[in-house]
């Protein structure tokens, strides 16, 4: 195919083949034979969707079968290699045994762009080990309200911090479109982190000046670094859904910012544009969507696009533009010259989940920890001390990894997170006299010098992590194809309050049970956002924000025992009360702890 170009290939394609390239079903709803029959350009895995026993070899075999189908030239087909996409957002987190990095909120606290590039490079290798080509990352949300359930996917509330990571992540991930990289996808365009009250998929009601300065800003370095894809966002901007906004997708992203790659919708993202399915597809296509993530209704999508072209509602020029963008990305990635997934150099690589990769993740854990309080020199801990380790998150690798880990909403327990260490296991490895007592009851009979109590949230993802009421939220909707005031059913939220003691009273009870014995308390908070933890912090001698550290809990022990210094700094303002949403733009900025806060020792 040395003489083939995207333009020449496009000229040979039928309308069926073109709309097939614009279609992305989910793996559970399509077969390899259907990929061949419908000329499908891309397939994805949703959260928790995996082949076989969820091992790299299972993924390679699946991708190999899809690839072979996409390369068939039977019945007039054209060999166009398939793109397979996954949400590998903190390591290749879908696959059992992968190296799981801290979620972005912790990496933002590390303030280390060079580390981000290395994390992205490791993530790319572990994606390639499964035969996959594409991850929907990096997330470039600038979160302005920590009640949002996706707060942990953001590097921080400061657009400059997010922007400092964006290009470095893309560079590490894509590796110049060489054999060591995978396709990146900056998301979610645009304003996903700025919705009113932090409601997932809500409305970002800001001026264009603020939109550009805050939410558009991180995309500039990502585009400069050559990111090949951008995902449209579920949210609205001043009432107009991003998926249906020609101004945002075409004028601003393509023309103003010069983005030349492909634009992919989010999961059924165009469904919210209109009650009528065909009309919603027309609105998305004409706005600038190139690839439709349509997990189940992909056959209906194909028929709708063809009918819209025949009726002149979606110009064939728009179809050609979309397909050309998809083909150019595939050519740039070298997919037309790459061997089948089973024969690629990184497939089934033994580096997947390796000690070398886990060392990078452990370094990231160490650098992300923020020391909030340290009275009476409670830290660092002494290795020979008699230590009681308590709290529900002390020995739970699932909790410390958080959402988007093996399953969409994450998992509780240690069984599903193979490899790595819990925080307890990290402590026990260096402190021979440490004792695990999740509820703290061992303090009733033991003689302990200090307690480490690991508290926090349980895993969640997307809208199920929101802090809000459970009532239906009404969209403001004023754009084309949106019915003003139409209700949108929301996922049940995580809680109604930012007060941790309200949501998880068991954590404060464990701290107080041990404190009543006169034992100094070192509290470690495992969470996807800052929380109101005033009583927990008051009852503690030292307090550490560990965020969602991922699979390498031993990195927490590295710092608690003083082998490495605390160096993390808050990338979010820490609220002082449940009704507060502090912002540095406020005339009176009075958070409990400001952005940039973090203690050291010594």
- Using left for φ > 0, alpha for ψ between -120 and 50, and beta otherwise, residue 142 falls in beta
450-456: strand order across its sheet: 370-374, 542-547, 521-526, 450-456, 387-390, 435-436
d(CA 234, CA 231): 10
d(CA 261, CA 290): 10
Q: Look at residues 400, 439, 433 and name the one whose alpha carbon lies nearest to residue 416.
A: 400
State both tokens at 324.
């050309």
Contact 532, 499 (CB under 8 A): yes
Q: Are strands 236-237 and 203-204 parallel, antiparallel or unpaired?
A: parallel
Q: Look at residues 501, 524, 404 and name the one whose alpha carbon lies nearest to residue 460.
A: 404
Would you tell me how many other CB atoms lie within 10 Å of the CB of residue 209? 8
Cis before 336? omega within 30: no
Radius of gyration of the chain from its Cα atoms, rounded to whole angstroms: 24
Residue 432: exposed, middle, or buried by beta-carbon count in 10 A (0-12, 13-18, 19+)? exposed
Q: Are strands 521-526 and 236-237 parallel, antiparallel or unpaired?
A: unpaired
Rounded to whole angstroms, what are the CA distances from 189 to 88, 98, 120, 135, 262? 18, 28, 20, 16, 12
For tokens 């700094």, name the residue.
569
For tokens 């034979």, name the residue.
33
Q: Which residues contact 365 (CB under 8 A, 6 or more apart)?
A: 102, 106, 546, 549, 550, 552, 553, 554, 555, 556, 558
Cross-strand pairs, 452? 389, 522
d(CA 90, CA 114): 16
d(CA 376, CA 285): 62
d(CA 381, CA 362): 19
Q: Which residues are catalytic?
A: 266, 462
For tokens 């990769």, name the residue.
357
């Amino acid at each position: 195919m040395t003489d083939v170009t995207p333009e020449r290939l496009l000229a040979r394609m039928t309308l069926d083949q073109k709309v097939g390239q614009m279609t992305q079903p989910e793996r559970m709803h399509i077969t390899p034979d259907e990929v061949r029959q419908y000329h499908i350009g891309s397939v994805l895995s949703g959260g928790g969707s995996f082949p076989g026993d969820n091992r790299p070899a299972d993924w390679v075999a699946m991708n190999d079968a899809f690839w072979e189908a996409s390369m068939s030239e039977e019945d007039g087909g054209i060999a166009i290699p398939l793109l397979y996409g996954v949400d590998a957002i903190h390591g290749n987190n879908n696959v059992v045994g992968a190296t799981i990095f801290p979620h972005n909120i912790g990496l933002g606290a590390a303030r280390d762009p060079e580390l981000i590039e290395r994390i992205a490079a490791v993530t790319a290798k572990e994606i390639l080990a499964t035969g996959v080509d594409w991850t929907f990352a990096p997330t470039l949300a600038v979160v302005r309200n920590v009640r949002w359930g996706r707060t942990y996917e953001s590097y921080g509330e400061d657009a400059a911090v997010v922007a400092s990571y964006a290009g470095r992540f893309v560079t590490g991930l894509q590796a110049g479109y060489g054999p060591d990289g995978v396709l990146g996808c900056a998301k979610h365009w645009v304003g996903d982190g700025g919705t009113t009250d932090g409601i997932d998929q809500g409305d970002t009601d800001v001026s264009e000046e603020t939109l550009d300065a805050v939410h558009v800003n991180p995309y500039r370095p990502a585009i400069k670094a050559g990111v090949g894809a951008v995902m449209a966002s579920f949210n609205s901007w001043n009432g107009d859904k991003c998926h249906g906004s020609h101004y945002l997708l075409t004028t601003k992203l393509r023309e103003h910012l010069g983005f030349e790659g492909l634009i992919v919708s989010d999961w059924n993202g165009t469904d919210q544009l209109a009650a009528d399915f065909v009309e919603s597809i027309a609105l998305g296509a004409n706005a600038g969507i190139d690839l439709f993530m349509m997990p189940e209704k992909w056959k209906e999508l194909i028929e709708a696009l063809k009918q819209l072209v025949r009726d002149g509602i979606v110009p064939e020029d728009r179809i050609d533009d979309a397909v050309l963008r998809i083909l150019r990305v595939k050519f740039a990635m070298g997919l037309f010259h790459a061997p089948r997934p089973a024969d690629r150099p990184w497939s089934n690589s033994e580096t997947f989940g390796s000690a070398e990769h886990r060392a990078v993740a452990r370094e990231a854990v160490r650098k992300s920890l923020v020391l909030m309080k340290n009275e009476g020199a409670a830290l660092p801990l002494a290795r020979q001390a008699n230590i009681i380790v308590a709290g529900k998150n002390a020995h739970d690798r699932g909790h410390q990894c958080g959402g988007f880990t093996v399953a969409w909403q994450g998992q509780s327990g240690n069984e599903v997170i193979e490899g790595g260490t819990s925080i307890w296991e990290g402590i026990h490895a260096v402190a021979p006299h440490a004792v695990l007592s999740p509820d703290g009851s061992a303090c009733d009979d033991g003689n302990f010098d200090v307690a480490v109590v690991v508290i926090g949230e349980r895993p969640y993802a997307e809208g199920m992590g929101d802090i809000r009421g459970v009532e239906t939220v009404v969209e403001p909707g004023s754009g084309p194809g949106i019915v003003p005031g139409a209700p949108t059913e929301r996922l049940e939220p995580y809680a109604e309050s930012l007060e941790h003691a309200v949501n998880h009273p068991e954590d404060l009870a464990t701290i107080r049970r041990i404190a009543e014995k006169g034992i100094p308390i070192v509290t470690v908070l495992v969470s996807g956002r800052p929380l109101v933890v005033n009583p927990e912090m008051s009852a503690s001698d030292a307090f550490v924000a560990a965020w969602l550290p991922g699979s390498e809990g031993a990195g927490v022990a590295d710092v608690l025992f003083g082998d490495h210094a605390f160096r993390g700094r808050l990338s979010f303002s820490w609220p002082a009360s449940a009704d507060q949403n502090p912002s540095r733009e406020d005339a009176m900025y009075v958070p409990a702890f400001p952005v940039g806060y973090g203690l050291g020792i010594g």
